[in-house]
Chain A
Amino acid sequence: MNGRFVRLAEQGRPTVNLKVDGSSIEALQGDTLMVALLTQGSSLRQSEFDSGRRAGFCLMGACQDCWVWTRSGERLRACSNEVREGLDIVTTQPEATWPLHG
């Protein structure tokens, strides 16, 4: 599977380049991180509590299911932060391990 989200309009915006887990991706200006990542992939992150992948849930900053991190360790909600040129995103939580369920 390629992207999970499908762009339906507003595709004439200027492009922005950022890094996700070390790879370069191209997004559009005004994209949230969530849209930038999910138009090119099927999930955002690994659940800490089981072996499943997660791709966000509420898109309004309430569920916290879309956390990603900057290379320097700052936690961002992918649904409510826009892409910026040169942003360096990692999708695994730095230094965290939890007992897995199931």
Chain B
Amino acid sequence: MATARLSANKVVIVGAGPAGIRCAETLLAAGFKPILIDENRRDGGQIYRRQPEGFTRDYATLYGTEAAKARDLHQSFDRLRGSIDYRPDTLVWNLTPGQLCCVSQGKHTTVEYDALILCTGATDRLMPIEGWQLAGTYSLGGAQIALKSQAVSIGRSVVFMGSGPLLYLVASQYVKAGANVAAVLDTSPLSKRILAMPKLLARPGLLFTGMKLLAQLYQAKIPVHLGIKPQQVLGDESTGVSGVRVSTARGETLTVNCDAVALGYHLRPETQLADLAGCRLRFDEASSQWLLAVDEDGRTSVNGVYAAGDGSKIRGADAAEHAGRLVAMALLEDLQQPLNAGLRDEQRHALAVMDQFRLGLAQAFPWPADQAKALPDAAIVCRCEMISAGELRRTVSEKGACEVNRAKAFSRVGMGRCQGRYCSQAGAEVIAAAAGVSVQQVGRQRGQAPVKPLSMLTEEVSP
């Protein structure tokens, strides 16, 4: 991949989460002063998001078992903040070779780069369910942010539905904070978890933490159902969610009353900027989604463009810290700088173990592709513009659009204000099922600038 000689006058990192911070720290230690651009007002990314000024909960309350890691990352950032060019509250909305288009507080600026390191993170991966457009349905990550960053519960009575480790983590955080959790409904059956055990044992400590979370939920007498099939979010379009209906593993119908649903199936990477830079993506069989094609250390297919953290491969926050250090070392190597080979081997080894665990998670909590096939025609796929599964299927059956971007052009699924973040993967499954081909064959939604909507009031200022 990237081998041509690079100049290193301007090294830009996008994203100040665990990967971006460890990357900046490693570059600074090697004598470079990177520009670190972050859309958020404060560092930490989503996982180690800091609460606003004036909030007083301590690290243990906020981050639980991850408290020490959160504190360490925040302290590392506080130490390096004055020595790097940190630009918070700044969205990179487009890029061309050597130049980023940014907007901060309504003002547009450009930032030049010689080397670009994308640490853009991930968002929740969603599978639609009939009624998920009702007020009171939130993404699982969103439910966690409400608690962590604002000390609120998303409702008086909350159902956690979907699959993946985050489902149990957030549900138990809600219980611990005193929120009322009505049920935890997991689409993955117990058998998958047992089969995945050998891979999950790659990280026995984390596996144990996961089991402890489940035990805490049982202890708090929270109903936990495995192997469910979601049917419908119940409620009214003006007052919002009033319950959920699922079928249980035994095939019985279960209705749970609630006024909020936290929904999510693990994570999907934010690859739009890498896509705009021309970086190659690859279909990852294990998680059944498109990920950035990077080498072991984080080089993309484009010379001078690198990536680390969940934005390139969904391996979680611990891995993101290692990948952040490693990608910095990859850049240093490409710049013919001296390297600490021992430190690099440590990061590579740690990531290999975490990759094994990632495969275990993908097996234990699989993406429920079949749900897309079973989605009723009336169910909404695109929440932004209220476009149904039936409308999307008609673009396949009537217009022959068996490719995601073509189906998007006809149906507008993926064209709304979230730009496909929450509908595109499920939409691809709906298209694939309707066309009778594999989801890999229908392709992926191309990244488009602006990667997030810009205000018409954005002003241009000279750099």
Contact = CB atoms under 8 A, between A and B. Distances in A.
Interface of A: 1, 4-14, 29-32, 35, 39, 42-44, 47, 49-65, 67, 73-75, 79-80, 82, 101-102
Given A1-B259, A53-B237, A6 B53 contact: no
A95 to B, nearest CB: 12
A65 B139 CA distance: 12
Given A50-B386, A53-B237, A56-B138, A5 B145 contact: no
B179 A58 contact: no
Contact of B386 (A1, A35, A47): A47
Contacts of A29: 54
A96 to B, nearest CB: 12
Nearest to A53: B135
Given A5-B146, A8-B147, A57 B383 contact: yes
Interface string B166-208: 0000000000011100000000000000000000000000000
A55 B417 CA distance: 15
B145 to A, nearest CB: 4
A64 B384 contact: yes
B146 A30 contact: no
Interface string B35-56: 0000111000010000111111
A101 B378 CA distance: 12
Nearest to B39: A61
Nearest to B158: A6
28 contacts: A1-B239, A4-B259, A5-B150, A5-B154, A7-B151, A8-B151, A8-B152, A9-B151, A9-B177, A14-B54, A30-B52, A32-B150, A47-B133, A52-B134, A52-B135, A52-B237, A54-B133, A56-B138, A56-B142, A57-B138, A59-B145, A59-B149, A63-B383, A63-B384, A64-B453, A74-B457, A101-B385, A102-B386
Contacts of A43: 135, 238, 240
A77 B211 CA distance: 37
A58 B142 contact: yes
A12 B57 CA distance: 12
Q: Is the interface of A mostly helix, strand, loop or mixed?
A: loop
Contacts of B240: 1, 4, 42-43, 53, 55
Given A8-B147, A60-B142, A62-B123, A52 B259 contact: no
B102 interface: no
Contacts of B142: 56-60, 79
Given A6-B156, A8-B177, A52-B134, A59 B452 contact: no
3 A-B pairs closest in CB distance: A59-B142, A52-B237, A55-B135
Contacts of B260: 4
Nearest to B456: A75
B179 A6 contact: yes
Contact of A13 (B54, B133, B422): B54
Given A8-B178, A13-B54, A52 B39 contact: no
A1 B239 CA distance: 8
Given A7-B151, A49-B385, A56-B142, A63 B135 contact: no
Contacts of A75: 455, 457
Contact of A60 (B123, B136, B385, B455): B123
Contacts of B152: 5-8, 35, 39
Contacts of A39: 152
Nearest to B417: A64
Contacts of B237: 50-53
Given A10-B151, A52-B238, A61 B145 contact: no
